[in-house]
Amino acid sequence: MTASATSVSVIICAYADNRREQLHRAIASVLAQRTKATEIIVVIDHNMPLWAFFFATYPAITVIVNEGARGLSGARNTGVRRASSEILAFLDDDAVAAPDWLEKMLPHYRNPSVIGLGGQVLPMWQVDRPRWFPEEFQWVVGCSYRGQPEKVEPVRNPIGCNMSFRRNIVELTGGFREGIGRTAADAAGCEETELCIRALQAIPGSLILYDPDVSVHHQVTAERAAWGYFRKRCLAEGRSKTQVVNAVGALDGLSSEQRYVMRVLPAGVLRGLGDAMLKFDMWGLARAAGIFFGLGYTTMGYVGARLSRPRRQA
């Protein structure tokens, strides 16, 4: 393994008091890695009592406060500035990494063209998975979805819950753009998408890979299993995509979405209808409808945000 892939800093960002137990489990999963992280950095987003608790609880790891704007982008950038390793791995505070997460991640960086890597995010449903919930829309709950690669392949961007980058790439691009992405309980996203597109634009021939064997489990709360959250998250994704397109252009900003809309979603609708007609699973109709409405809500969020943009004065 090259020197650039021997050291890895794991960055975990957190903000919510009600997710303390999940954060404990996330930290424990990193401490239990077969390939040890050089350092673990926990960034607390503008919540001093939460920072004080974890600072006192984990003296052997680095627990710091977000020095940037409130939100996930500012917290991640704070972690990047504090990190000392050549590889930066990001794990959500409500996720649990597989014991071989780092072991399977780091060898990919032997290839100098690889600037980033994502992996599979498996849902841990707090309640039974809703039978109407289409697998094609598992990105709504921050998990891998039907239509993603089933083997190691280049992708435009990983899911933020389970991703890593070369440190110099994050520094070259200026880090995660503040003003895009999640702030507290807001359902926005796409800050990692925007960074990845800028990185690929800046370095022709570079690769961001997806390896399904580099896996984590992500908790899905009962709230996120509800139809109301599904709708809210789809609308927010559409609004977020508008910000990405404004920053990097429509060609790159919507490149993956074109295949998803034209191929993955129609196949999902047909699968749902087939389940209903051939397997007598009437919930297949609900899953097909969920795909239809999910696409509609996302499109509505995108178009609404585009139309509400302030027009430049002539």
Q: Please name which of 208, 213, 212 lies closest in space to residue 256, comparing C-alpha atoms.
A: 208
Q: Cβ-count burial of 228 within 10 angstroms (0-12 exposed, 13-18 middle, 19+ buried)? A: exposed
3-305 folds as: Spore Coat Polysaccharide Biosynthesis Protein SpsA; Chain A (3.90.550)
Q: Whole-angstrom Cα distance, residue 25 to residue 206? A: 34
The tens digit of pLDDT for each residue in 156-206 reads: 999 999 999 999 999 999 999 886 655 545 555 678 988 999 999 999 999
Residues with pLDDT less than 50, the chain: 1-4, 184, 312-314
Tally Cβ neighbours within 10 Å of residue 206: 17
Residues in CB range of 130: below 8 A, 6 or more apart: 225
As given in the structure block, the two tokens for residue 154 are: 């280049």
What is residue 72's predicted lDDT score, i.e. its pLDDT? 92
pLDDT of residue 305: 85
What pLDDT score does 93 carry? 96
Note the pLDDT of residue 1: 37
| DSSP per position, 202-260 | HSTT-EEEEEEEEEEEEEE-TGGGSHHHHHHHHHHHHHHHHHHHHHH-HHHHTHHHHHI
Task: Delimit the domains of the chain by residue range.
Answer: 3-305
For residue 15, the model assigns a pLDDT of 94
CB 86 within 8 A of CB 127: no
